[in-house]
Amino acid sequence: MGAGRRAPGATGVSARAGWIAVAVAAAAVPLVTANTYYLYLAMTIGIFVVVAAGLNVLAGLTGQISLGHAGLYAIGAYTAALAATRLGLGFWTALPLAIAVTAVIGAAVALAALRLSGPYLAMVTIAFGIIVEGALVEWVALTGGPGGIFDIPKPAVGGAPLALGRYYWLVAAAAALALVLTRNLARSAWGRALVAVKSSELAAASLGLSAYRVRTAAFTVSAAFAGAGGALFAFLNGYLSPDSFTLQTSILFLLIVLFGGLGTLAGPLVGAAALVLLPEVVRQFVEYRLILYGSLLLLSVYFLPRGVVGALARPRAARPADSGTGVPSLTQDAGDSPPTAGQAGASSAVALALTGVTKAFGGVRAVAGVTLAVRGGTVHSLIGPNGAGKTTLVNLVSGFDVPDGGTIALFDEGIAGRGPAAIARRGVVRTFQTPQLFEELSVLDNVRVGAAGHRLGWLVAALAGFGGDSPATQARARAALDAVGLGDWAATSAADLPFGHRRRLEIARALAAGARVLLLDEPAAGLAPAEVEALDALLSRLRAGGLTVVLVEHHVELVMAISDRVTVLDEGRVIAEGPPAAVQRDPAVVAAYLGTSA
């Protein structure tokens, strides 16, 4: 699905032609054959596409692996079957009911499980699937136990049951709708947020995004799709038993997504077609199906880490030609674009105040009673030897660590301990020593994540295709790129940026997020001299625009040239503070950090 990525024009035309060909071929299946078995196989592919499209949102966009989707699939199937057989509801009522029930249960599972990640989340989802499978067997009064549920009525239109061929078209339409909905989601602010959380949870939080909220939404959407697939399966089969909803089924769903291509639009279709038809080719080895699936999973991960669709994808367009210096122009690219900061305080007001802030790790005090005041519209630098507590202080201010004592206030509002996303939403935005970019997104879409922040809109609207950015958000993102001189790189993948440009992109993203106080953690590290000069010019422009900057930096020349005030830390304590020239002459600073030649 590739949130934010757009193929070149020729590729877009060929992709549309390919999808039209697939749609025509799919629609023609009942016209080509009336064989019940072949129609059943084709509908199984369609149902698996629906489930896999939802799982692709979770695993492909968000990077969360679920091995319990057979449980959600079962909940949708049994809800629809019970609604039809016991409540007398028709298909058109039972289907949305199954989707809603599965989505609610999926959200509940997500709220409990998504504070975990990686193998721990996979283990929880396995447990969920096993619990559901056990309930299907043991809760005989509701599910029929091992015997299952019989005589599920066929869908009807106007009181007349649908023929198998017509039900095929309904399933095919559902599969197409599932792919369209996931495409819409991937291209929305929600889709970019999902990819952002997958790429760098730290960076996402620093822009105001709650990874927990985003992942819960993804799991809920994925559950709803699984419920829809389960309901379609129930009405196709006319009979349900627990044997259809085992761990093997969960592995199959995950394998469909992995084999087809994680995060690709066509991946669920390619994977479902391949893995539904494969057992037909090797039918004589049906007892070894689980071994076959496991082997295929290992082989696909090793030889096709991007899946079939990812392996066949064309390379992205080349990045824009550079001027030769590797340093974007600040006079031409950004000359007419004001820095896109949030509301900054006047230079006479204290923007950020720390009083007696302390933090210890394992009994060792990294920050010991730090008190400082950063005035609005100034560049305030923190310097000191390695281990002095500079980055720890930035982590405390930005919410990535919680102080043991003291207070931190942003324009007189206490922010200590609020968490990074909440603090970012109040206007304290940071960059990192090692640039944290969303490398699966373009340069522009990285900044659009910052511009949107937590304001993602309605999830249902995003699925329906109405999840685009507002004109103001788009303008803010473009202005931020222009402000750092990366306007011509907007369509380039963030993964392809040179190192110096990566640091600029982090700053642009923070500006788009509406930073009132910008925390820069060693932005000059690894830059060439010309790039350091360009950074100096950029910081000067940001200060002139009223932005407050807290700069943690080892590049003494840059610090002395750009800073309004400098605070020097040593062993977690403030040993000096004042204008750059005065700090540079301070004997304690010379002894602790600058050296006798400073």
**Distance between CA atoms of residues 594 and 598, nearest Å:** 5
Q: Which H or E run contains 574?
A: strand 573-578
Q: How many other CB atoms sit within 10 Å of the CB of residue 332? A: 12
- What is the homologous superfamily of the domain 350-594 according to CATH? P-loop containing nucleotide triphosphate hydrolases (3.40.50.300)
Q: Which of 1, 9, 4 is nearest to 439 (CA)?
A: 4
Query: How does strand 160-161 pair with strand 156-157?
Result: antiparallel
- Residue 588: the pLDDT is 84
**CB-based contacts of 541, cutoff 8 Å, min separation 6:** 330, 334, 339, 483
Confidence at residue 336, expressed as pLDDT on a 0 to 100 scale = 41
Annotate 470-503 with three-state secondary structure: CHHHHHHHHHHHHHCCCHHHCCCEHHHCCHHHHH
If the chain, 598 residues long, is cut into consecutive pieces of 10 residues, what is the mean pLDDT of each piece? 50 76 86 90 97 96 93 98 95 97 96 79 92 95 93 88 91 96 95 95 94 94 98 96 94 93 93 87 68 74 79 61 44 41 57 95 91 95 91 95 95 93 95 94 96 91 87 91 93 94 96 95 93 94 94 93 94 92 87 60
Pairing, β 517-521 against β 428-430: parallel
Q: Give the whole-angstrom CA distance, residue 29 versus residue 362.
A: 67
Q: Look at the pTM and tell me if it is higher than 0.85.
A: yes
Domain boundaries, the chain: 32-247, 350-594
Nearest to 4 by CA among 498, 494, 504: 494
Residue 81 class from Cβ within 10 Å (0-12 exposed, 13-18 middle, 19+ buried)? buried
What is the structure's pLDDT at 280? 76
What is residue 340's predicted lDDT score, i.e. its pLDDT? Answer: 44
Distance CA 31, CA 133 (A): 38
Which of 352, 356, 331, 405 is CA-nearest to residue 550? 352
Contact between 92 and 34 under an 8 Å Cβ cutoff? The reply is: no
DSSP code per residue over 120-188: HHHHHHHHHHHHHHHHHHH-HHHH-GGG-B--PPPPEETTEEPPHHHHHHHHHHHHHHHHHHHHHHHTS
CB 422 within 8 Å of CB 410: no
User: In this structure, what token pair is assigned to residue 447?
Assistant: 């900044």
